Structures are given as C-alpha cells and as structure tokens.
Amino acid sequence: MKLYYAPHTCSLSPHIVLKELSLPFELIRVDNRTKQTADGQDFLRINPKGYVAALEIEQGRVITEGPAILQYLADLRPEAGLIPIPGGWERVQMQEWLAFINSEVHAGLAPLFNKELPHEARAIFSDRISKRFDFLESRLRGNRYLMGSSFSVADAYLFTVLGWCRFFDISLEKWPALMAYKAVIEERSSVQAAMAAEREQD
C-alpha cells in the first residue's frame, strides 16, 4: 500500500492507524501547491480531487476520503479492535463519530486556514467550533476515548484535527477533558512514530 500525505493535514490519521496496525506501506509526500509527489508523480492522476489523504491499495485502486480509508484499514485487522464489526450498533456509533468529526470538526476548522477570510466570517467559524468542542467535552468527561475505554480510528481522526488548533491560537484549556484526551492519545507509540516519520520528510 501507498499512503499519500502532506504535513499538518488530515492524512496523519490513516498514518497513525497504519502504524497502530503494523501494516506495511510506503509513505509518499505530496506538495499541496504543485500537486507533485516526492517520487515525481502528478498527484492529480492519483486523486483527481487534488487533496490528501489517498491510499493506493493496488495499481488503479485508490481510496480518497479519510473516513473510508480509516474503516478500510481497521477492517484489515479486526482483531486489533480499532473498529467494531460491521452490522452492529457499535459500528453505527463509530460511523456517527467519523461523520461528526468529518463534517463538524474537520470542516469547521479547515476554513480558518484561509488567511484572507474576513474577520466576521472567522468569528462565526470560531464560535461554531467552540460549540462542537463543548459537545466533545461533555462526551469525554469520564471516558478515556470516544467509544469508551478503547482507542479507535475515530480517536486517530479527532486527534489529528485537534492538532490544527495551534495554527489558529485556539487553546483547549477551556475544555479540560478534551485537552486531557488529546494528551493521552499523543503518548501512544503509533502517534509518536507517525509524527516523527512526517517530520523526517518535512
């Protein structure tokens, strides 16, 4: 498998999961501006959408959306327990978390990367993400992870997008359970290994 990534993006989450599962893969950096890969390919030929993450599972078969990549990877090694088995209530809960992180947290923070965003719009997005963090705070009180006591692919995803807060001067101190949650995940060896590997190629 090949994971196409860019530093400081949501591609960190499948990278963490690949490390967590000890799956063999090749890490290939993408320049988000030129859409060229580190090995000289046109990334738009790999993923016409033009953004990471993209997971090439074999020649001509590429998965391009983070939640789909995460579920695919976790299902390769169900014994690791990173995702509930298909068909049950817990799997639906996991999909609900992935959808929430994708549409409310990821999509809520992403516009703030736009330096030309007017102050009024920035304030609206900041207020909206604050409400989402309030919800997460309430759910994480008394829970180590989103699904309870076990680390899952949803945690890898939420940890990744929470890492963007530092770019926008959003302090998590207002949400102590969320801040503690992020610190716990950051200590995992898979997380440390993925971040170190991306720093080496930065």
Examine the domain organization and report whether 184 and 194 are in the same domain. Answer: no
Once rounded to an integer, what is the mean pLDDT over residues 84-106? 97
172 within 8 A of 164, measured Cβ to Cβ = no
Examine the domain organization and report whether 143 and 173 are in the same domain. Answer: yes
pLDDT confidence of residue 202? 66
**Among candidates 41, 19, 141, 155, which has minimal Cα distance to 98?**
155
Helix or strand run (H / E) with residue 72: helix 66-76
3-state secondary structure of 57: strand
Examine the domain organization and report whether 88 and 182 are in the same domain. Answer: yes
pTM score above 0.85: yes
Residues above pLDDT 70, as percent of the chain: 100
Examine the domain organization and report whether 172 and 194 are in the same domain. Answer: no
Sign of dihedral through CA atoms 174, 178, 184, 189?
Answer: negative
Once rounded to an integer, what is the mean pLDDT over residues 183-199? 97
Once rounded to an integer, what is the mean pLDDT over residues 142-154? 95
Once rounded to an integer, what is the mean pLDDT over residues 23-47? 97
Q: Name the band, by pLDDT with cuts 50, 70 and 90, for residue 120.
A: very high
Examine the domain organization and report whether 132 and 69 are in the same domain. Answer: no
**Among candidates 53, 64, 54, which has minimal Cα distance to 10?**
53
Examine the domain organization and report whether 136 and 179 are in the same domain. Answer: yes
Order of strands across the sheet that contains 26-31: 36-37, 26-31, 2-5, 54-58, 61-63
**CATH number for the domain including 162?**
1.20.1050.10
**Among candidates 202, 139, 129, which has minimal Cα distance to 172?**
129
**CATH number for the domain including 20?**
3.40.30.10
Examine the domain organization and report whether 175 and 131 are in the same domain. Answer: yes
- For the CA atoms of 121, 125, 127, 128, the dihedral, rounded to the nearest 10 degrees, stands at 140
Structural domains of the chain, count = 2
Examine the domain organization and report whether 65 and 159 are in the same domain. Answer: no
Examine the domain organization and report whether 73 and 126 are in the same domain. Answer: no
Examine the domain organization and report whether 66 and 141 are in the same domain. Answer: no
* Residue 33 pLDDT exceeds 90: yes
Examine the domain organization and report whether 68 and 132 are in the same domain. Answer: no
Examine the domain organization and report whether 31 and 99 are in the same domain. Answer: no
- Residue 176, domain extent: 83-188
Q: pLDDT, tens digit, for every residue of 46-80?
A: 999 999 999 999 988 999 999 999 999 999 999 99
* Residue 30 pLDDT exceeds 90: yes
